[in-house]
Structure 1
């Protein structure tokens, strides 16, 4: 998942000092630090994405195995490079995308806050609307950039499996996709990605906001109180809420992610021109309804860890990027 939205605020008394808007940021520092820290985060989570993708691909002997068994098998046959297949393409290719994501996110959020300023809307609702709109807008903008990158990265992860083509690297993968399907081949699953990311983002931030609110109140914080939490408390609450949100989101989005992954990695010459309905029928025929949850374990782990690390990392980036 690219960055979807800024952390929703907890009770105002608790997070007033963390409300860092676009105008207060040193833009150069913000993008440089953001690119570095989010690349490091991606490196930590990439193995779970490889395992998840391998489990979701048809015809793979790994598709019937549990996540931890798949991980061990990849290590046994391919070593450490095996669990980092496609990472170079993803890491380097994502750098411009991260700038695009962070900028579109912060600018659109800032515009929505200014647009709703002075209106008869509760402050918490106003901030929530701004975060939601910013998250959806940023997702739509980033889909244009990230879907081709995802197609290339996933093909590199699964190459050599039945129904896939072996290539010598990312550029060779691009050449073969364009040769076989034209430029639109790089945008396989674009519609499904764009349509599902918006509700997935809403679900993520809804779960995050609700979890954070419940945690703050369970710790004894109330809107009318002047007590403020420590930095460690804020980080812990944000991380826990992010983990809960990621876990909830993975339950809802895994079926669509499985269909999308199959659409993006299979070749026309093997399966004919793929479609969403054809892919769903194949999954039902091969595995039954549980087939839509192939790779759920690694995805659950990936999104839970992503939610936790993304929130903590993003808040840290903004604090480090405040103009002095």
Structure 2
């Protein structure tokens, strides 16, 4: 979603620049759209998180078994453990994320535009830098949300403590570890989210240009651009490519980070101990626990998010 001048005519006709948006409408409508996406895809995150913390002795390890167990014991609400915490924290986090992302892309494209490199490469560099910068800044909000919500997701599973809601988690974490307890795994979160965000946005930006080129939409001399349906399909394909690339690259770090964040104070292992236990239990494939749900969630959420985001920009554009 590049926000500067584009050299490919067809792509520039599908893009809405940051300075052309009604910001109030963009943020208000965006909060509703992304909340709706979270409702639809949240159960996948719960299953993925439980798969990542499963021990060798856990009775339920597969995605199907975990989902079935949650439905059997808690019904539909079981698939939404920790949802309240996520939805409350997601709104300010999304505002920060989208603002930094778009403004950084504007600056990044101004830097790479004069370079004598291909359009997909320019898009990858500018989008990747914007995604990386955004991830670094937004982790100050996202990590505490992760710590609280992930503990709620795994409560009662494989020996994990049960809580009375997000406030109870926050109170106990602060009592045990102070404020740094809410930032447990912050370094690994940066190591996970930074390359993930960089790879996601770089792949999304560059893959679109490659797809447009393959489709032959390189020049519209009569001023007409591609149809809206074609544009949505290309953006969706870019989201799938981006989600696939990011999930494969970052799942091992995400597995380690999740295990660190859900451990109790008295059980808390070091990063090295988590790695050793994963290898001892499942070998190197242990680092890819939950790869199926994570791959699906990143691809599905990424594609849904990017199509919704591009739609949001269209309806928020000033005349």
Superposed pair shares fold, TM > 0.5: yes
Q: How much does 1:127 deviate? A: 4.8
CA gap of 1:207–1:99, structure 2 versus 1, over 3 A, is: closer
CA gap of 1:111–1:15, structure 2 versus 1, over 3 A, is: same
Alpha-carbon distance between aligned partners in 2 of 1:8 and 1:288, rounded to the nearest angstrom: 46
1:266 aligns with 263
Alpha-carbon distance between aligned partners in 2 of 1:167 and 1:128, rounded to the nearest angstrom: 43
Alpha-carbon distance between aligned partners in 2 of 1:7 and 1:250, rounded to the nearest angstrom: 25
The partner residue of 1:52 within 15, 28, 48 is: 48
Q: What does 1:84-163 correspond to in 2, within 5 Å? A: 84-114=80-110, 119=114, 121=116, 124=119, 126-163=122-159
Q: How much does 1:209 deviate? A: 4.0
Alpha-carbon distance between aligned partners in 2 of 1:136 and 1:220, rounded to the nearest angstrom: 31
Alpha-carbon distance between aligned partners in 2 of 1:51 and 1:120, rounded to the nearest angstrom: 44
1:251 aligns with 248
1:308 aligns with 303
3-state DSSP of counterpart to 1:182: helix
Q: Deviations over 1:69-106 (max 9, x none)?
A: 22122111110000011111101111111111111112
CA gap of 1:36–1:62, structure 2 versus 1, over 3 A, is: farther
Q: Relative CO higher for 1 or 2, CA cutoff 8 Å, sep ≥ 6?
A: 1
1:233 aligns with 230
Q: How much does 1:147 deviate? A: 0.3
The partner residue of 1:15 within 11, 17, 27 is: 11
Q: How much does 1:63 deviate? A: 6.8
Q: Deviations over 1:297-317 (max 9, x none)?
A: 111110110121121011011
Where do 5+ consecutive residues of structure 2 fail to align? none
Alpha-carbon distance between aligned partners in 2 of 1:257 and 1:189, rounded to the nearest angstrom: 10
1:277 aligns with 272
1:287 has 2:282 as partner: yes
Q: What does 1:174-189 correspond to in 2, within 5 Å? A: 174-189=170-185
Alpha-carbon distance between aligned partners in 2 of 1:63 and 1:300, rounded to the nearest angstrom: 23
The 8 Å contact of residues 4 and 110 in structure 2, kept in 1 or not, is answered as no
The 8 Å contact of residues 52 and 299 in structure 1, kept in 2 or not, is answered as yes
RMSD, aligned CA: 2.6
Q: TM-score, normalised by structure 1?
A: 0.89
Alpha-carbon distance between aligned partners in 1 of 2:206 and 2:318, rounded to the nearest angstrom: 31
Q: Deviations over 1:262-288 (max 9, x none)?
A: 00001121x2x4221111011111121
3-state DSSP of counterpart to 2:13: helix
**More divergent stretch after superposition (208-217 vs 101-110):** 208-217
Alpha-carbon distance between aligned partners in 1 of 2:179 and 2:30, rounded to the nearest angstrom: 30
Q: Deviations over 1:229-257 (max 9, x none)?
A: 21100101110221122122212211111
Alpha-carbon distance between aligned partners in 2 of 1:204 and 1:63, rounded to the nearest angstrom: 34
Alpha-carbon distance between aligned partners in 2 of 1:10 and 1:73, rounded to the nearest angstrom: 50
CA gap of 1:212–1:116, structure 2 versus 1, over 3 A, is: closer
* Aligned residues between the structures: 317
Alpha-carbon distance between aligned partners in 2 of 1:6 and 1:172, rounded to the nearest angstrom: 42
3-state DSSP of counterpart to 1:42: helix
CA gap of 1:87–1:60, structure 2 versus 1, over 3 A, is: farther
2:211 aligns with 215
The 8 Å contact of residues 132 and 202 in structure 1, kept in 2 or not, is answered as yes
Alpha-carbon distance between aligned partners in 2 of 1:65 and 1:74, rounded to the nearest angstrom: 12
CA gap of 1:138–1:222, structure 2 versus 1, over 3 A, is: same
